[in-house]
Amino acid sequence: MATAELAKNPANYTTLTPLTFIARAALAHPDRTAVIYGDIRRSWAETYRRCLRLASALQALGVGPGDTVAALLPNVPEMLELHFAVPMLGAVLNAQNTRLDARTIGYMLDHGKAKVFFTDTEYHQRAAAALSDCRQPPLVIDVCDPHVSEGRRIGRISYDELLSQGSEEFRWQPPEDEWHSITLNYTSGTTGDPKGVVYHHRGAYLNALSNVIGLGLPSGAVYLWTLPMFHCNGWCFPWAVTAVAGTHVCLRQVQPERIFEAIRAHEVTHFCAAPVVLTMLVNAAASTQVHFAHPVTAATGGAAPPAAIIEAMEKLGIRIVHLYGLTETYGPSVICEFQDTWAGLPLAEKAGKIARQGILSLSMTDMMVADPATLEPVPRDGATIGELFLRGSTMMKGYLNDPEATAKAFAGGWFHTGDLGVWHPDGYVEIKDRSKDIIISGGENISSIEVENVLYRHPAVLEAAVVAMPDPFWGEVPCAFIAIKQGQALDEEEVVRFCKANLAGFKCPKKVIFLDELPKTSTGKIQKHVLRSRLAAMSA
């Protein structure tokens, strides 16, 4: 019998969806702790029942397949539950960045056609202002966290009231097609209005499992929520941690002392954080820092982690896994896969290896560093700069209602990341800059990340960012912005001396500007465009 005659049927083919993870967690480990938040402890059986109740109550409100449900929430249990309850209805979850202004929140509610909007009472002012401008205001549901003292209700009903109206008898079905949309995530909109990136059930399933393997999440992993769940759906970890029936430790605020304390108290095994959070941990007061008796792994990405920070984290006893990705790639899509031979390297050298972005994650199919005009791959020489291109199953469906931007992003059958890097002989990519951040001096490319890496090695430097400064002779030269650690002193001369000792002369900053704090985006990335405008204003 020809194998081609064998057909798909309901017994041998079901669509991939991360919803199966929670059903299985409740079946396999009903009594294991699923969620910890303050005094709250809930098991997997209870968490699953709450999600079913929430889905049924939302259905009674008229939410159905294809509808958008928006959420403006910190990392609280309700946000986790929405990651399951909303897709159970075939609806699409739009988790919004809680640090955005009212205008942008209103834009996203309108653009995404949100039917329901869950908002934390702490954000009542911005949420109300956003709603007042909406063309078709959604139904508002307040999430009332007892930890919020200044909160105000602005909605028709609270989350708990809604939950009490639902039924645990609710039954969900996997989507008929795994290409069905599961979430909508807006980019940060540094160049105009944010774009709405749409994910599907298949990609969410695959990236969750790719994370499980990439980070080595064991059954029952204890995961601390430092990375916002609104950021690329927490890089798909709401689903990944559930796949291993692990424990989600929720945290409302990212503060070093709370992070150290939570890891100690709950024996957290894994967490994810942007490099800026690792910098906070490394520079926290010694009395706050805890050296843990148990193994802890932190995944970092979202911006280039300086090798010095990786080194300092490893000294604290925290193993670092370096990930690279974008909103468009469901978060992690490239991973700095650890090579056995690195284990014996001196720490600084090992940190240097980990600081490279790496190779394809398990759920991606192909990558290349290539000429953006011809799509011709660059040689794997660790020197020629090209743009990073990706393709695979954990790639967005496209930008909502923006066919032009979608076509541009996928031109030539590859996703254009807009990041520039080199390809090493071992196949690892090393990002040198975003295309718009690279500094071209006298025809030579200077990677701002390379210069920043050196600056971070100076003991007095807390934060550093390097941008291009116009120069009549060289075209552009590097200018460094630096925030100094508390109680330390540093001047321009010392910075230049330190750079000259560690970098080629033409890469050394020609100007150094000291700031109390560097401006950051709502996702904690240093805003180089703000620094460039400051520089322009200073020289005007």
Residues within the interface to ligand ADP (CB under 6 A): 187-188, 301-304, 322, 324-327, 357, 417-419, 431, 434, 523, 525
If the CB atoms of residues 76 and 388 are measured against ligand ADP, the closer one turns out to be 388
Measured from the CB atom, is 324 or 481 closer to ligand ADP? Answer: 324
* Cα 457 versus chain centre, distance: 25
Instruction: Please identify which residue in the block is written with the tokens 């000792």.
Output: 501
DSSP state of 166: -
> Smallest gap, in angstroms, from Cβ of residue 457 to ligand ADP?
18
Alpha helices, H only, 357-486: 403-409, 448-456
Minimum CB separation from ligand ADP for residue 386, in Å? 15
Least distance from C-beta 236 to ligand ADP, angstroms? 13
Distances (CA, A) of 21 to 18, 242, 353: 5, 6, 34
Q: Give the SS3 label for residue 333.
A: strand
* Calpha distance 183→5 (Å, rounded): 36
- Considering the complex, what minimum distance in angstroms separates the CB of residue 333 from ligand ADP? 9
| Residue 75, CA distances (Å) to 71, 120, 226, 293, 309 in order | 11, 11, 8, 26, 25
- Give the residue with the Cβ less far from ligand ADP, 304 or 508: 304
**C-alpha span between 322 and 433 (Å, rounded):** 16
In whole angstroms, the minimum distance from the beta carbon of 32 to ligand ADP comes to 32
Give the C-alpha separation, 388 to 393, whole Å. Answer: 17
Residue 233 or 327: the one with the smaller Cβ distance to ligand ADP is 327
- The least distance separating ligand ADP from the CB of residue 332, rounded to whole angstroms, comes to 9
Distance of closest approach, residue 201 Cβ to ligand ADP, in angstroms: 21
CB of 240 to ligand ADP, least distance (A): 18
Count CB neighbours of 294 within 10 A.
11
Gap between the Cα atoms of 525 and 456, Å rounded: 16
Which residue number is nearest to ligand ADP in terms of Cβ? 188
- Which of 140, 439 has the CB closer to ligand ADP? 439
Distance of closest approach, residue 117 Cβ to ligand ADP, in angstroms: 22
| Token digits of residue 496 | 């230049």
Q: How far is the CB of 522 from ligand ADP (least distance, A)?
A: 9
Which of 303, 351 has the CB closer to ligand ADP?
A: 303
| Alpha-carbon gap, residue 437 to 452, rounded angstroms | 12
> Which of 25, 73, 50, 23 is CA-nearest to residue 250?
73
Nearer to ligand ADP, 138 or 302 (CB): 302
* Residue of 521, 529, 461 lying closest to 491 (CA atoms): 461
Q: Which is nearer to ligand ADP, 244 or 355 (CB)?
A: 355
Closer by beta carbon to ligand ADP, 81 or else 430: 430
**Closest listed residue to residue 304, CA positions, set 131, 433, 142:** 433
- Closest to ligand ADP by CB, 221 or 326: 326
- The distance from CA 27 to its chain's CA centroid, rounded to whole angstroms, is 30
Encode burial over 383-404: b for 16+ CB neighbours within 10 A, e otherwise.
eebbbbbbbbbbbbbbbbebee
